């Protein structure tokens, strides 16, 4: 939801060799996903976003696809994130996270789909 966090996260993912599309809120994220779903291998979804909440966006994404979704939140004890993890979310990153933590989660989720460069935090 925060422009600086989105920008830094995008750069880390691009350094891993991924192409990144981003959205500034949940409604825009769904629009981007609808237009580019065949290009999207993983979704990083902030739990707290303007216009449409992370949990609502998650539910709507799940209606469309089984794409891996990595939840991100600044609240480690986010009850809603824990509920989504027990249903079908693929992982959780607590903000602030390091480049190495992001790299580790993306590698774990995408497995053999890419060979990302190891990043240092």
Average pLDDT rounded to a whole number, residues 13-38: 94
Predicted structure pTM score? 0.84
- Lowest mean pLDDT across 4-13, 41-50, 72-81: 72-81
Return the higher-pLDDT residue of 75 and 15.
15
Mean pLDDT score of the chain: 85
Please choose, from the candidates 97, 98, 78, 103, the residue with its C-alpha nearest in 3D space to the C-alpha of residue 89.
78
Nearest to 70 by CA among 94, 50, 52: 94
* Range 30-59 average pLDDT: 92
pLDDT of residue 121: 34
């Amino acid at each position: 939801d925060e422009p600086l966090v989105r920008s830094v996260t995008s750069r880390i993912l691009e350094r891993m060799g991924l192409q990144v599309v981003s959205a500034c809120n949940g409604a825009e994220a769904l629009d981007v996903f609808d237009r580019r779903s065949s290009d999207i291998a993983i979704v990083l979804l902030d739990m707290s976003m303007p216009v449409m909440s992370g949990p609502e966006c998650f539910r709507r994404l799940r209606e469309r696809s089984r794409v891996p979704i990595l939840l991100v939140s600044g609240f480690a004890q986010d009850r809603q994130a824990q509920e989504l993890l027990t249903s079908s979310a693929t992982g959780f990153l607590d903000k602030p996270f390091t480049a190495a933590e992001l790299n580790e989660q993306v590698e774990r989720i995408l497995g053999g789909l890419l060979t990302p460069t190891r990043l240092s935090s």
